[in-house]
């Protein structure tokens, strides 16, 4: 089988819920099928955008299984498996790989704030135990600790660690990783707004929140950047810039879930402690969707 490449625009999927708060399996199937039909390059179920923190392991397994079933081997299915307990992260990895994940996304341990040597030990233990490839996820704004460039580069030497999702916002750090990484190690932006910058430095793509609402446009942006057509990539970047901002007017995934609901793809239902987007932000979100060439329902 041809290896599934980690590149382009990869959607960090929202999880649809029914009005009474259960996983909406028909809506999930339809949403994944639509993403694929729109040309998306990969899917990340049960990450932070998918409200994994409020999903049971049984629910996460089910969401990954449905996503993998609909994807049918056509593109990577990268399951969010991370937590701040290394043993539980390993258990999650085994369960989600068995459910059909082709890769595992592991956020660095939140709240614990381990030193860099602790991060090295954590990721190596996870990668040693995982049966599918592991992707690092550095997002200091949520975890309260940065996985430094030297740490990521050391981890990149592990044969089962194949990429990083870099959401530090530190372009100098990201550029250093790109410059010094070993062959075959992919660098993916974790910030939609920095996709063009990261890819211009040589990164492979983005794990995107905005592509929940605009998969074709994010795919086009990444495809143009990958071909070196930065003028075309800037056209798409400019079209999407209002949405890059609107998607984070409140905590993710509240705004993007509202946006996808405006497009009629899912219901705007979240699990506590997340709540629906404040109504005062809806005009900004609707304007951003219109600017991106999308028509709110």
Q: What angle do helix axes 230-246 and 282-291 make, rounded to 10 degrees?
A: 160
Q: Is the residue at 255 inside a domain?
A: no
Q: Check: CB of residue 212 under 8 Å from CB of residue 13.
A: yes
- In this predicted structure, the answer to whether residue 104 has a pLDDT above a threshold of 60 is yes
Q: Is the residue at 116 inside a domain?
A: yes
Q: Please give the positions annotated as active site.
A: 137, 165
Q: Check: CB of residue 231 under 8 Å from CB of residue 200.
A: no
For the stretch 117-174, pLDDT in tens is: 999 999 999 999 999 999 999 999 999 999 999 999 999 999 999 999 999 999 999 9
For the stretch 163-202, pLDDT in tens is: 999 999 999 999 999 999 999 999 999 999 999 999 999 9
For the stretch 30-74, pLDDT in tens is: 999 999 999 999 999 999 999 999 999 999 999 999 999 999 999
pTM: 0.97
| DSSP assignment of 65-113 | HHHHHHHTTSS-BEEE---S-HHHHHHHHHHHHHTT-SEEEEEPPTTT-
What's the token pair of residue 238? 């400019």
Task: Work out the end-to-end distance of the chain between its first and last CA atoms, rounded to an integer number of angstroms.
Answer: 41
Q: Can you tell me the distance from the alpha carbon of 8 to that of 5, in angstroms, rounded to the nearest whole number?
A: 9
Q: Can you tell me the distance from the alpha carbon of 148 to that of 192, in angstroms, rounded to the nearest whole number?
A: 21
Helix (H) or strand (E) holding 291: helix 282-291
Number of H helices and E strands in the chain, helices first, is 12, 8
- Give the start-end residues of each E strand in 173-221: 186-189, 205-208
Range of the domain at 83: 8-229
Q: Is the residue at 188 inside a domain?
A: yes
| Structural domain count, the chain | 1
Q: Is the residue at 86 inside a domain?
A: yes
Domain with residue 51: its CATH number is 3.20.20.70
């Amino acid at each position: 089988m041809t290896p599934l490449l980690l590149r382009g625009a990869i959607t960090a999927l929202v999880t649809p819920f029914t009005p009474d708060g259960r996983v909406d399996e028909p809506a999930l199937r339809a949403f994944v099928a639509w993403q694929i039909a729109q040309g998306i390059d990969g899917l990340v179920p049960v990450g932070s955008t998918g409200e994994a923190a409020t999903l049971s392991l049984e629910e996460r397994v089910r969401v990954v299984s449905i996503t993998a079933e609909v994807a049918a081997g056509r593109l990577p299915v990268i399951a969010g498996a991370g937590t701040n307990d290394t043993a539980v992260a390993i258990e999650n990895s085994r369960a989600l790989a068995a459910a059909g994940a082709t890769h595992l996304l592991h956020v660095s341990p939140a709240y614990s704030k381990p030193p860099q040597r602790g991060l090295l030990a954590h990721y190596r233990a996870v990668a040693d135990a995982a049966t599918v490839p592991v992707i690092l996820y550095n997002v200091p704004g949520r975890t309260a600790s940065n996985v430094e460039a030297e740490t990521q580069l050391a981890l990149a030497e592990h044969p089962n660690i194949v990429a990083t999702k870099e959401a530090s916002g530190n372009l100098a750090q990201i550029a250093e990783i790109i410059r010094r990484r070993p062959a075959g190690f992919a660098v993916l932006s974790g910030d939609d707004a920095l996709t063009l910058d990261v890819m211009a430095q040589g990164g492979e793509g983005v794990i995107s929140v905005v592509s929940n609402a605009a998969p074709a446009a994010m795919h086009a942006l990444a495809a143009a950047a990958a071909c070196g057509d930065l003028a075309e990539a800037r056209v798409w970047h400019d079209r999407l810039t209002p949405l890059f901002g609107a998607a984070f007017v409140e905590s993710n995934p509240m705004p993007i879930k509202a946006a996808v609901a405006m497009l009629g793809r899912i219901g705007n239902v979240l699990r506590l402690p997340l709540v629906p987007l404040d109504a005062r932000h809806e005009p900004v979100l609707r304007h951003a969707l219109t600017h991106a060439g999308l028509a709110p329902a």
